[in-house]
Copies of this chain bind each other. A is one copy, B any other.
Amino acid sequence: MTSKEFHPDWTEKSPAEGTYRSIFKYGDPQHFKHPSDAWYRMMKQDFHLSDADFADKGKEGREPVKLNRPAALKPNQIDALQAIVGKENIELDDYHRVKYASGKTTEEMLELREGIIREVADVVVHPRDKHDVQKLVEYCDKELIPMTVFSAGSSVNFGCRPAKGGVSVVVSTHMNKLLEVNELNQTARVQPGMFGPAYEDALNRAPEVFKTKHRYTCGHFPQSFEYSTVGGWVVTLGSGQASTYYGDAYDIVFSQEYVTPAGIFKTLDYPATATGPKINDIMKGSEGTFGILVEVTMKIFRYMPENRARFSFMYPTWEAAVNASREIMQSEFGKPAIYRISDPEETDRGLKLYGMPGIVDKFLSMKGFKPMQRCLSLGNAEGDKDYTCLVVRKIKAIARKHGAISLGSYASRKWEHTRYTEPYMREDLGDFGIMIDTLETAVTWDNLHRLHEGVRAYVKSRPDTMCMTHASHFYPQGTNLYFIFIAHMDDPDEYRKFQSGIIDHIQKYGGSLSHHHGVGRMIGPWMEKHLGKEQMAVLRALKRHFDPRNIMNPGGQLGLD
């Protein structure tokens, strides 16, 4: 590779304010992460493209957003909303109506590049506190104005799309404070719109900020950590990368307060109860359809990064990696925090893309760890120092028993550098008509291989389509499978059909419809068949109870209507 070689003109130009691109670009407008040379070579090879195909960018979406759709609300209604939140907390312009209607699905990116705008709200409101929210819900319920909640906007399933217009309620603008750290109970009371990094930073610095004895961590680090909020984690049932130890968002919630059309819903602070079905848990995952989360008390954990112990292994086969992982999760010696295994395609592409010294590759091949068979595993343990040592020692012993070779902490450290930044590449790829997207599912151990093979076969049945899979959230009973697919494809209709086929195959092969992305409107149509008619009827009964006039996030969310 010499400097003479062609390099695509990956953009370094921040999207101008008010443009389509400023809406669909991931993360920090000033931050870019370009495909490496290895990535570029891989794409050219796999998609049979040449440098010429990367000479000109397609539609970049750099035009100003134009909606040309007058708000359907009446002036007196807009006045009333304004009276509640204040004039400075209302937006009626095209750009903000589209911005706060958008998430980060591939479909939205493809369409926004072409200037296609789907449903938006009539007006955007930024409540200042839970009292504002209460007044808004009361008013909208009375006036039958639909409300859709927007927090960080990193939804990948149209969870913040105002399918029926009405009001976009943005909770992250003002309702983003850490209200209290209760050190005795090891809990933190927080507003829903607080972003991950601000929350984690405040907990890490709790001795300075809240005069606590210990430092704390939230324990929840999804890939979207930097562009997701505590409330979003809770209402969509997210999982962090360290969920194998800390639990999913579901497990980390202690108590909650929601404003619903049926009243204020506040649950109690108890470590456990036997007082009937747990109403605290009923609210989690309601995705804005029952009401608006206005405050949540989360469990927090001692922050001891100095004890973190990393590991990585190469397994000879996927079967060996899965078997070892199951043994690790069922052996009762504690749990790692981050724990991942990559299937052969992900392992091989990863090695090519993220680099492995040639001599290591030769050594591995010589030892029988063959390309398109071998599987990478990596992770860490967190907690007390002796505990993390024990967990890693045990994992090493099990890995060895299953034929793995230790790569030390190398791959784990390498992975950490990119743990939050991969989504940034999406725009660069999109500029040249290449899409990268993901779907994910939960599965029991006894169905893992069937599901993996079935979904993978469908994705690979499309010519020139990459499919990389890993499992990254583990339980004694099973894990998740996370499918990443990359293709030369920029037609939204073609994409919709392709994606829909993958969901069909996840369902066909017995995976759950989502392990941690949530349902939104994208997965909604599959819900009833997946859960069963009687089960779906329960969700609808709850919906009718909380929101009898169907104003909360109506129009397909969770497949409710």
Q: State the A residues within 8 Å of B (CB).
A: 182, 184-187, 236-239, 248, 250, 254, 260, 262-279, 281-287, 290, 299, 301-302, 304, 326, 330-334, 382-384, 386-387, 390, 393-394, 442-446, 473, 475-480, 512-519, 523, 527, 530-535, 537-539, 541-542, 544-546, 558
A281 nearest in chain B by CB position = B281
What chain B residues lie within 8 Å of A534 (beta carbons)?
A: 260, 262-266
What chain B residues lie within 8 Å of A478 (beta carbons)?
A: 185, 270-271
What chain B residues lie within 8 Å of A332 (beta carbons)?
A: 301-302, 304, 382-384, 387
Q: In the A-B complex, list the 3 residue pairs whose CB atoms are closest, starting with the nearest.
A: A332-B383, A541-B545, A237-B274
Task: State the Cβ distance, A529 to closest chain B Cβ, in Å.
Answer: 12
A518 nearest in chain B by CB position = B274
- What would be 10 A-B contacts, judged by CB atoms less than 8 Å apart? A184-B446, A187-B477, A271-B475, A273-B515, A274-B285, A274-B516, A275-B285, A276-B285, A333-B387, A538-B546
CA distance A405 to B272 in the complex (A): 30
Task: State the Cβ distance, A92 to closest chain B Cβ, in Å.
Answer: 32
A300 nearest in chain B by CB position = B476
Contacting pair A384 B443 (CB below 8 A): no
Interface residue from B274, B443, B477, B479 paired with A186 (Cβ < 8 Å): B477
What chain B residues lie within 8 Å of A238 (beta carbons)?
A: 274
What chain B residues lie within 8 Å of A530 (beta carbons)?
A: 268, 275
Interface residue from B286, B331, B444 paired with A271 (Cβ < 8 Å): B444
What chain B residues lie within 8 Å of A268 (beta carbons)?
A: 512, 530-531
What chain B residues lie within 8 Å of A254 (beta carbons)?
A: 477
Task: State the Cβ distance, A517 to closest chain B Cβ, in Å.
Answer: 6
A334 nearest in chain B by CB position = B334
Interface residue from B281, B302, B515 paired with A274 (Cβ < 8 Å): B515
CA distance A122 to B182 in the complex (A): 53
Contacting pair B286 A276 (CB below 8 A): yes
Contacting pair B279 A538 (CB below 8 A): yes
Task: State the Cβ distance, A347 to closest chain B Cβ, in Å.
Answer: 23
CA distance A386 to B389 in the complex (A): 11
Interface residue from B272, B277, B330, B516 paired with A475 (Cβ < 8 Å): B272
CA distance A281 to B477 in the complex (A): 17
Contacting pair A274 B517 (CB below 8 A): yes
What chain B residues lie within 8 Å of A276 (beta carbons)?
A: 237, 285-287, 519, 527, 539, 558
CA distance A14 to B534 in the complex (A): 48
CA distance A248 to B331 in the complex (A): 20
What chain B residues lie within 8 Å of A546 (beta carbons)?
A: 538
Contacting pair A333 B274 (CB below 8 A): no
Contacting pair A277 B283 (CB below 8 A): yes
What chain B residues lie within 8 Å of A539 (beta carbons)?
A: 276-277, 279
CA distance A267 to B539 in the complex (A): 13
What chain B residues lie within 8 Å of A279 (beta carbons)?
A: 531, 535, 538-539
Contacting pair A514 B269 (CB below 8 A): no
What chain B residues lie within 8 Å of A386 (beta carbons)?
A: 333, 390, 393-394
Interface residue from B182, B274, B443 paired with A514 (Cβ < 8 Å): B274
CA distance A241 to B24 in the complex (A): 53
A557 nearest in chain B by CB position = B276
In addition to A273-B513, A278-B285, 17 A-B residue pairs with Cβ atoms within 8 Å of each other are: A182-B446, A185-B478, A239-B272, A254-B477, A271-B479, A273-B515, A274-B518, A274-B519, A275-B285, A275-B527, A277-B282, A277-B286, A277-B542, A299-B477, A334-B387, A386-B394, A538-B545
